[in-house]
Chains A and B, each alone.
Chain A
Amino acid sequence: GAGVSQSPSNKVTEKGKDVELRCDPISGHTALYWYRQRLGQGLEFLIYFQGNSAPDKSGLPSDRFSAERTGESVSTLTIQRTQQEDSAVYLCASSLVESSTDTQYFGPGTRLTVL
């Protein structure tokens, strides 16, 4: 079937605005992950969903960041009052088994630019 999809592919916003990033995982994958990749850096973990629950939110950098998942499918990452340091590529991944020991498949990412 189709891979992980994300939208929008690019988002330019002004400092202080809110943004929503969407992830559609591979059908049937129960685990969903959000990561952030700043320019020239590795991936930073943000949040992990097991079904619709988020047992690990430890990577969310501040309370301006939140995420939800519905129907054990689509997930939305929301960043409120965006700051310039939020500029990065936000990557979503999913895996069949609810453990990060299982292979994660990544979406194409959303490139967020905060002016």
Chain B
Amino acid sequence: QKEVEQNSGPLSVPEGAIASLNCTYSDRVSQSFFWYRQYSGKSPELIMSIYSNGDKEDGRFTAQLNKASQYVSLLIRDSQPSDSATYLCAGSNQAGTALIFGKGTTLSVSS
């Protein structure tokens, strides 16, 4: 199993819909997780961090962590065309010296 896995997409949703982005991780990843958004040709910017089991909400974004299933997700409510980007899931390595990234899921929101 790869350390952090994401479906590359593209995930296409209409404007106003809920976009659901998923990520699974291996035992080599510790339980601090981050979702970054990356626009084409730009650097990653942090959307959400989550450390504890359960849900964490910030505006239109909700991150969910299920440690038993080794699963992290990001829900984007009321999706907007400006949300169209690649979403990178990352977890800290066990030593706390690096983030391990998935390959990213491309989201396309159509107006």
Tell whether, in the assembled complex, residue A103 and residue B46 are in contact, meaning their CB atoms are under 8 Å apart: yes
Contacting B at CB under 8 A, from A10-67, are 33, 35, 40-45, 48, 55-56, 59
> Total interface residues on B, using CB and 8 Å?
26
At the interface, is chain B mostly helix, strand, loop or mixed?
strand
Minimum Cβ distance to chain A for residue B4 (Å): 8
The one of A41, A59, A101 in contact with B96, judged by C-beta atoms closer than 8 angstroms, is A101
- With a cutoff of 8 Å between Cβ atoms, the chain A residues found around residue B99 in the complex are 33, 35, 43, 45, 100, 104
Q: Binary interface profile of A, 82-115, with partner B (CB < 8 Å = 1, else 0)?
A: 0000000001000000011101111111000000
Minimum Cβ distance to chain A for residue B2 (Å): 10
- With a cutoff of 8 Å between Cβ atoms, the chain A residues found around residue B100 in the complex are 45
Tell whether, in the assembled complex, residue A108 and residue B43 are in contact, meaning their CB atoms are under 8 Å apart: yes
Interface size class of A (residues with CB under 8 A): 20 to 34
Q: When chains A and B are docked, how far (Å) is the Cα of A18 from the Cα of B105?
A: 34
Residues of B within 8 A of A (CB): 4, 30, 32, 34, 36, 42-46, 49, 51, 88, 90, 92-93, 95-104
